[in-house]
Amino acid sequence: MISLTNLILVFIFGSIVSYLLTKANRVLGSIFNFLLTAYALYEVWNLNINHSEKLFVLFKNLESTLKVTYLGKYFALVSMIVISFVTFFIIEWIKKKGIKPAAFNAFMLIMISGVLGVFFANDLLTLYIFWELAVLGSFLIVPMGKEDSKKAAVIYAVTSAIGSYMYLYAIFVIFKRYGVLSFEQVSQQLVNDSSLFKWFVILFIASAGMAKSGIFPLHTWLRITHGNAPDAFSAILSGQLVKMGSYVLAIAISVFPTVQMFSSFYHGIPLLNYLLIWLGNISILIGTFMAIRQNDMKQLIAFSSIANGGYILVGLGTMNSIGYSGGLFHVFNHAIAAAMIFLSFAAVVYRTGTTKIDEMGGLIWRMPWTFVTYLVGIISLAGIPPTSGFISKWMIFSALVNKGMFITLAITFIGSVGSFLYVFRPLAGVFLGQLKRKHADVKEVPGIMLIPMLLFVVLVLYIGVYPKPVLDYISSIEKVLGIKPISYNGFEIITPLGKWNTLTVFTMFSVGFIIAIVLYLIFPKGKRVELTDQYTGGDYLYNYDLYHYATGFYRFIERLYDRHPSFERLYGMLAAFFRSIGDIVTGLIYKLSPSGYVFWISVVILIIYWVRW
């Protein structure tokens, strides 16, 4: 078995090999990336818990170490499953024009090295180093997408920097106060600290997780970044990179045991956790209602990622057996569902060249397997049985009922109902309805792109029927963190409110599906019309584009919040303000005459001499 350090180094040096191979042949370089990620998945799967390695020592009390924990391994496995499937998809996808394949593949491996380092870091400093490496790799990939991708990359970098600087400040003050940075030692110090210092530490660390996972108020980057990033990379951006934020939130809430650090505020939940839960609630509402408005299918699922990040935070924040399990289970569910949905969108764009819902329609018979992937993905995302997506939401709902948190329960329920609405919009607008004449010759994507999409489908249904493999990891995580493990037995999940038998539910749905097919085959069919004539039931329209029902699909709902407050506008005003300040400072400093430079150099020297730190 390869060491963790060497596994990370393989990706760093492998990026050079990938660049050279892709320069020679873009398919060959992409195959190399897939083989490397598949190998990493195998190695991560076989890692021994509590295995640790020392990276470097700065001085006596500051070591950089890697360690395999149940929590880190769980996140790493979910991430590597998503990444390995997507890199397989990219083998064919990367043939498209308009992307720099060599740089894309090289930066991808750099990002993965950072991802692995984040999940296996054993101290705050090591996590920060690899965090920045992962952000760097992804930041360099985002500008390879649409026309606005450079602007999207800047917004992504700025939001990440906000979280990173707050996290870095937390590292400085923790080391100054305690002289240690390892998770275990910091946890012990925080538990024994009776001051308000620990409040600020947890909030600053959590802020980094909130920025990366798109939690309100650091959520605005997701729409523009997902909407403009390379299509296949959006599957990793939502399915994996966002989960780095959830991992840091899990550290802030549970590895640093907030239940022991703070007194109970509401039904055993500390005030800090309760505040984080409410940020999750707001994220659910914003993500849901803004997703309903979107005509761009990638931006729609970007807002959905904000809502689902809220579900994860709500589950983790409860810090009880069923709620925490639901939050961790939702990490898996959203990672897989978001990845398969974005891959189905990448397939659609690969054939049609557009992400606008009202520019498509009727693709179900042209791209049937892509439709199946999207359909199963949205069923899981909306939390409908028998997919795995239902299990995590049901667990979170059960925890909220058990805790008596009925306002949060109502918000999460509204989010679930809203998810039915927004995922139906691409279903009806892209795959069902009227086929555009310009898409009459569209066909299914190549088999290499279909294989990972359909593997995602199998995985979602398999875990929906037999969730034990995921629950085994979650149970082990809870034991280590001092949380009562969730009760489950094979196909049955047990909560204080009752039991859920996944096999029974799957059997019932299967029987119903079979009955529906039999009835469809037995009874006579209605009039068959061409896909281009469906809107009027067979009558021909000369100007049919004006009648596409995807335009203003949920206008009757959108009217309710047409004049909603926008944090994007607020942040835009702040950006304009700081830009004007920057222009003033630039005008003062950058003079054409040498005397101006001499003056400012003298001022800086005097300030440094005066501070003398």
Q: What band does 308 get if pLDDT is binned at 50, 70 and 90? A: very high
Decide: 211 and 163 in contact? Cβ < 8 Å.
Answer: yes
- 587 located within any domain: yes
One domain, residues 3 and 62: yes
One domain, residues 529 and 592: no
Rounded CA-CA distance 357/298 in Å is 10
Asked if the model's pLDDT at residue 598 lies above 90, the reply is no
Asked if the model's pLDDT at residue 116 lies above 90, the reply is yes
Structure tokens at 528: 């068959």
One domain, residues 589 and 560: no
Rounded CA-CA distance 581/422 in Å is 41
Decide: 303 and 290 in contact? Cβ < 8 Å.
Answer: yes
Rounded CA-CA distance 213/223 in Å is 12
- Average pLDDT value over all residues in the chain: 85
- 442 located within any domain: yes
- Farthest CA pair distance, the chain: 92
Q: What one-letter code names the amino acid at 538?
A: G
Rounded CA-CA distance 141/68 in Å is 29
Report the relative pairing of strands 62-67 and 52-59 from DSSP bridges: antiparallel
pLDDT tens-digit map of 142-161: 888 777 778 888 888 888 88
Higher pLDDT, 163 or 96: 163
Q: Which residues pair with 550 in a beta bridge?
A: none
Phi, psi dihedral angles at 443 (to 5 degrees)? -130, 170
Phi, psi dihedral angles at 428 (to 5 degrees)? -75, -40
Angle value at C-alpha 367, between 365 and 373, nearest 5 degrees:
115
- 243 located within any domain: no
- 495 located within any domain: yes
Structure tokens at 15: 């990026």
Listed residues 144, 159, 182: the one ending a domain:
144
One domain, residues 523 and 583: no
| Lowest-confidence pick of 275-279, 420-424, 488-492, 536-540 | 536-540
Distances (CA, A) of 421 to 451, 549, 589: 28, 15, 54
pLDDT tens-digit map of 523-581: 776 666 665 555 555 555 555 554 555 666 666 666 666 666 666 676 677 777 777 77
Listed residues 104, 122, 144: the one ending a domain:
144
Asked if the model's pLDDT at residue 344 lies above 90, the reply is yes
Structure tokens at 203: 């909030």
- 589 located within any domain: yes
Total domains present in the chain: 3
Rounded CA-CA distance 393/336 in Å is 15
Average pLDDT over residues 204-227: 89
One domain, residues 101 and 72: yes
One domain, residues 506 and 580: no
Range of 104's domain?
1-144
- 176 located within any domain: no
pTM for the structure as a whole: 0.88
Average pLDDT over residues 98-122: 91
Decide: 262 and 270 in contact? Cβ < 8 Å.
Answer: yes
Structure tokens at 70: 């149940």
Percentage of residues of the chain with pLDDT beyond 70: 88
pLDDT tens-digit map of 383-407: 888 888 898 999 999 989 988 889 9
> Three-state SS for 446?
coil
Decide: 42 and 295 in contact? Cβ < 8 Å.
Answer: no
Average pLDDT over residues 274-296: 90
Asked if the model's pLDDT at residue 81 lies above 90, the reply is yes
One domain, residues 481 and 594: no
Average pLDDT over residues 125-140: 92
- 79 located within any domain: yes
Rounded CA-CA distance 249/258 in Å is 12
What pLDDT does 285 receive? 92
One domain, residues 604 and 512: no
Distances (CA, A) of 599 to 172, 199, 323, 455: 34, 44, 61, 65
One domain, residues 118 and 98: yes
Distances (CA, A) of 184 to 50, 67, 81, 189, 261: 13, 11, 28, 9, 14
One domain, residues 132 and 38: yes
What pLDDT does 553 receive? 66
One domain, residues 560 and 580: no
One domain, residues 595 and 495: no
Listed residues 529, 544, 564: the one ending a domain:
564
- 241 located within any domain: no
Contacts 24+ apart (CB under 8 A), 175-184: 175/62, 179/61, 180/61, 181/62, 181/123, 181/124, 181/125, 182/63, 182/65, 182/122, 182/123, 182/124, 183/122, 183/123, 183/124, 183/251, 183/255, 183/256
310 closest CA partner among 416, 405, 426: 416
Helix residue ranges, H only, 193-238: 197-213, 221-228, 231-236
Angle value at C-alpha 453, between 448 and 459, nearest 5 degrees:
130
Query: Helices 70-93 and 242-250: crossing angle, nearest 10°?
Result: 180
End-to-end CA distance of the chain: 48
Ramachandran bin of 2, using left for φ above 0, alpha for ψ from -120 to 50, beta for the remaining angles: beta
94 closest CA partner among 24, 149, 30, 18: 30
> Three-state SS for 89?
helix
